[in-house]
Chains A and B, each alone.
Chain A
Amino acid sequence: MWLIDSSIGRKLIMSITGLFLILFLIFHMSMNVVAIFSGESYNKICEFLGANWYALVGTAVLAGGFVLHIIFATILTLRNQKARGAQAYAYQQDQPGKVEWASKNMLVLGLIVLVGLCVHLTHFWAKMQLPEIMGAEEEYAGQFADGAALIKLTFSNWKICVVYIVWFIAIWFHLTHGFWSSFQTMGLNGKTWFPRLKCIANIVSTLIFLGFAAVVVAGYLQNL
């Protein structure tokens, strides 16, 4: 299967899953922003996205996308290390001007994003959608059915806020490269579109960053 056997095929999987995850982030971010303005509306959306079949399928696909993205990132990284050869360069090179820091550190950034994700899942998902899926809704019902309240509670701790902001920064770096890079891999790039795509990549990642960060900040401020 060429998608798995060929270098470009493997990269295509990275780019498609990556773009899919970006779409998810945009959606997630839009939803979160609602919580700043109205906790009630936010809870309504959460309710709507409960343990319905479409939400379950969505979650499964999303998780699948994540897993594929991570698996192929690992495969590609290992292969690339092998291709680099056993002997490393002795002279640590300074970055040529064009080469962005993020592009060379996608793996590190990805790992930070992954760790942040785990923290995030235990904070929210494990208390909101997971119990619903498990059918253990009642145990938590009194406590956390109110997602908006959960946000407020979680971000009352400034340390958690800092962790989240760091996480968002990593996502920002990861996306600035990942976004245009995925278009490049799909062949949807060229001399004219390259600067445009880079610009769009910066706007999209910045919007995502600002949206998420705003919720965290708002959650913290509400506690003051």
Chain B
Amino acid sequence: MALDNIMKVNLKVWRQAGPKEKGEFVTYNDVETTPDTSFLETLDILNETLVEKGEEPIVFDHDCREGICGMCSLFINGHPHGPATGATTCQLYMRRFKDGETITVEPWRSAAFPVIKDLMVNRNAFDQIQQAGGYVSFNCGGAQDANAIPISKLDADEAMDSATCIGCGACVAACKNGSAMLFVSAKVSQFALLPQGRVEAVQRVKAMVAKMDELGFGNCTNTRACEAECPKKISISNIARMNREFLCAKFKD
């Protein structure tokens, strides 16, 4: 690596030993990295030096590092997944930052996402919402031929756009209300647009919204911060669709 490529940043990182412990910011100065290194790799570098010093490394969620698994989180300099748009934290490279910059790294903050350790939060609430109704009820083996029901390409494409959600929780992290509407509506939309999902649409939207409310997520006030910060650019038109589905379902009761 050529010498002129090296950059130094200061990382101001939230450290918290456990869910009930008190957390605080710790600043690590002069972490050496390069513009071509990813942000998570820079955290790796920092962790390596911490381990060498006999300290405990910073715990953060990450897995595929290709922007698709939804595991990585991190609220970096005031943005979920950092300053880049349409990208996850693992797709963030250091050239987005200035040499010598201090970068503030916080975990997702939301009552429904309690901190487990350091920068790692518990997003189990998302699974619970999906379990409430994010599926089509049928058993393996009983399916008809895949081409038996034609589906308009426009609907299929729109369902695909909704289904792109990676369930990372950036929408909740970005929302001043801690609302999970974008996440829930993406799943509701995907199924509402497809004939296979329509059969149970009424029960599904009621069950998923009820679960979302029960788990303590906030109420959407249409600020669109979720849409702006979503790494997969999920549109708030999904929220409108879910509202429509929900109200129709309730008025049918």
Contact = CB atoms under 8 A, between A and B. Distances in A.
- A touches B (Cβ under 8 A): yes
Interface of A: 2, 5-12, 76, 79-80, 82-94, 96-100, 103-104, 106, 177, 180-181, 184-191, 194
B78 interface: yes
Given A7-B209, A80-B178, A96-B229, 7 more contacts: A6-B213, A7-B220, A10-B219, A83-B177, A98-B227, A184-B239, A188-B240
Interface centre among B79, B109, B223 (most CB of A within 10 A): B223
B197 interface: no
Given A7-B209, A12-B247, A91-B75, A185 B222 contact: yes
Interface string B216-235: 11111111110111000001
Interface string B8-24: 00000010000000010
Q: Categorize the interface residue count of chain B.
A: 35 or more
Contact of A85 (B104, B178, B236): B178
Contacts of A94: 78
A82 B213 CA distance: 12
A82 to B, nearest CB: 6
A6 B111 CA distance: 18
A99 B228 contact: yes
A5, A88, A184: residue with the most chain B Cβ atoms closer than 10 Å: A184
Given A84-B110, A85-B109, A184 B236 contact: yes
B98 interface: no
A92 B106 CA distance: 12
Interface string B231-253: 00001110111111111101001
B112 interface: yes
B176 interface: yes
Nearest to B251: A2
Interface in B111-141: 111-113
Contacts of B253: 2
B78 A8 contact: no
B28 interface: no
16 contacts: A2-B250, A6-B209, A7-B219, A11-B220, A76-B219, A83-B219, A84-B109, A91-B78, A96-B228, A98-B224, A104-B223, A106-B221, A184-B239, A187-B240, A187-B243, A194-B236
